[in-house]
Amino acid sequence: MQKKYLTIYHDLLNKIHLKSWQETEMLPSENELSVTYTTSRETIRKALNLLAQNGYIQKVRGKGSVIINRDKFSFPVSGIVSFKEITEKLDFSSKTYVENLGRLESGNPYQDILNVGKYDQVWHVDRVREISDEKIILDKDYFNESYIPLPSKEICEHSIYEYIETELELVIGFAQKEIIVEEPTAEDRELLDLEGFSNIVVIKSLVYLEDTRLFQYGESRHRPDKFRFVDFARRVKNGTPL
């Protein structure tokens, strides 16, 4: 006999597929669901946890469970693609707001991350990305000014990578990336439309020129309900693709 929480899970999942609740709409509370299914809140909680694990709902602190928009924006993990290139490819309306732009004082921690000398300068830019009238990405980027001169605000609003490749005529080579989930910072909460979400997806990148010079460290901070990160993987055995 199937456990009751699994029966409830499948019933709720069927209702989600049948659009009994619309995307971004709140599910009934645990108390309401426990009455509907004549069971304990603990059993309801297990069913909701399974829905959350499988990407159908997001638990929002102090509010309950919200239906997730499954039509997420796909961001490549393995490639190096600018925000401008992604928005043009996916054809959605977007806007970039430059919140901070300038040089950091000597002795900042990013000098170590970028392996620059103590007398070399690092400049940074914080940009909020708005997609379909929602501010859902905060990009925080740091550059070695020895390789990438400080650009104008207009360039940062448009595309820094286009500036690097077109105006500076440099070739961007490869990147090392790390993806983590963490609690939003005060800055995230101030600048992004988090809608009560209690976590944020952070992609940390070290980006190198073709000649292996490290020129950028970046953190791209994403609201979790709007994005999925995709990659293409090929199985390799003994160094030979299968």
Q: Write out pLDDT tens, residues 71-102.
A: 555 566 666 767 777 666 655 678 999 999 99
Long-range contacts of 123-127, Cβ-Cβ distance < 8 Å, separation of 24 or more: 123/148, 123/150, 124/100, 125/98, 125/100, 125/101, 125/156, 125/160, 126/98, 126/99, 126/100, 126/101, 126/191, 127/96, 127/97, 127/98, 127/99, 127/156, 127/157
One-character DSSP codes across 194-213: -TT-S-EEEEEEEEEETTS-
Is pLDDT above 60 for 143?
yes
Please give the model's pTM, rounded to 2 decimal places. Answer: 0.68
Q: Which residue has the tokens 């963490």?
A: 182
Chain center to CA of 95: 16
Tens digit of pLDDT for each residue in 2-19? 789 989 998 998 898 888
Tokens 């409830």 correspond to 8
Which domains, ranges and CATH numbers included, belong to the chain? 4-67 (1.10.10.10), 73-228 (3.40.1410.10)
N-term to C-term CA, the chain = 42
Partnered with residue 88 across adjacent β-strands are none
Q: What is the reported pLDDT for 73?
A: 58
For residues 155 and 178, give the distance between their C-alpha atoms in angstroms, rounded to a whole number: 26
- Per-residue pLDDT of 173-231, as tens digits, reads 999 999 999 999 999 999 999 988 889 999 999 999 999 999 999 999 999 887 766 66
